[in-house]
Amino acid sequence: MSEGAKVERTTSKRLFTLANKQFNLSINSNACVEIVKKRFGEVDQAWTSVMSKHASYLALQFPEGAEVSEVEENWIDDIAIEYNRNAMLTKRVNRQV
């Protein structure tokens, strides 16, 4: 059962990566504010999915009371850093309007 959750978690991370790539392309190509906002909205949705899938996987892999491994705890860290960076970029774009 946790194998299916792991596949879903991995898939959500891939979708986040794809959305993130499109967001970065919109920033780097100086796309209009509406497109940047739309792309960040897609990143935001993907981030929410990653968090949800990760939490589900952890719940299945580590029953209540079991200690979560450091590797699993840290799995989401790089994605979180990227998401936060994108949120800051979007704020800057919004201030320029």
pLDDT tens-digit map of 30-89: 999 999 999 999 999 999 999 999 999 999 998 888 899 899 989 999 999 999 999 999
Q: What is residue 65's predicted lDDT score, i.e. its pLDDT?
A: 82
- 92 pLDDT above the threshold of 90: no
Q: Is the pLDDT of residue 12 over 90?
A: yes
In this prediction, residue 74 carries a pLDDT of 92
Burial of residue 34 (CB within 10 Å: 0-12, 13-18, 19+) is exposed
pTM of the model as a whole = 0.89
pLDDT of residue 77: 95
The C-alpha angle with vertex 58 and arms to 53 and 62, in degrees rounded to 5, equals 160
pLDDT score recorded for residue 63: 85
